[in-house]
Copies of this chain bind each other. A is one copy, B any other.
């Protein structure tokens, strides 16, 4: 056990450090990385971003003991906010991030909540277009694959309405872009068209945004192969495309893009992942002031 003198020493130093932390924080701010759903890539991207800014990271995930003891999300966030200067939260339940942010006394960044919004993905997609092509305006942007269930393409289509673009959707009939997105795009005066063939739209496409189609979306293996066999990027297919354009994919891919295409300068999907880190650096730097 401690003596009274030891306690006083500890408490006086703790108080000094409390003031020091609040005022100066010269040794790096802390980001709390809170993932109630595994997403190693998003987590790594944010952790790299924070650390490249000179900050530090603490980690909490869904195996947390407090969560098991029945603590609410709001309480967990309130505690983590006490340890950190900014919080990054991913949660499987739509709306939960918004709810958590209402009581949070530190900036909270949404890293995805279920089928809800995933804002940093849409930002990095548009940043990729800007960096790869030089501009977003005036482009033909073709979204391919499972447009029904893919939340990344929903967020992207919505955010692209802020630009002067032409959208094309290529998907199997059963996986078409849902009407809530189509209506939103229409209301914002952006032109959009649906296609069932990739070859048809490829020649004047500036950005080809591929997505993964999950096997479970189809009843039989045959239906799956019949639907997906048409949407595979290969070096041969890409001879029909522009010389200056970008092929993107939110990753992980399965077979939608042949690995033989990886060495093509138009293959932007791995750079796209890296651009995500710079966008997250920007988001963190903006909410933190400077680190």
**A20-36 vs B: 1/0 string, CB under 8 Å?**
01000101101010000
Count residues of A near B (Cβ-Cβ below 8 Å).
85
Q: In the assembled complex, which residues on chain B have CB atoms less than 8 Å from the CB atom of A51?
A: 27-28, 30, 56, 58
Q: In the assembled complex, which residues on chain B have CB atoms less than 8 Å from the CB atom of A127?
A: 10-11, 14-15
A189 close to chain B: CB less than 8 A: no
Contact A278 B15 (CB under 8 A): yes
Report A84 CB to chain B, min CB distance, Å: 7
Interface with B: A140-148, A169-177, A217-225, A268-276, which one? A268-276
Q: Is the interface of A mostly helix, strand, loop or mixed?
A: helix
A180 close to chain B: CB less than 8 A: no
Q: In the assembled complex, which residues on chain B have CB atoms less than 8 Å from the CB atom of A119?
A: 2
Q: How far is the CA of A163 from the CA of B47 in the complex (A)?
A: 43
Interface residues of A (CB under 8 A from B): 1-4, 7, 9-11, 13-15, 17-18, 21, 25, 27-28, 30, 32, 38-41, 44-45, 47-48, 51-54, 56, 58-61, 63-66, 69-72, 74-76, 78-84, 103, 119, 123, 126-127, 130-131, 158-159, 162-163, 212, 251-254, 259, 262, 270-271, 273-275, 277-279, 281-283, 285-286
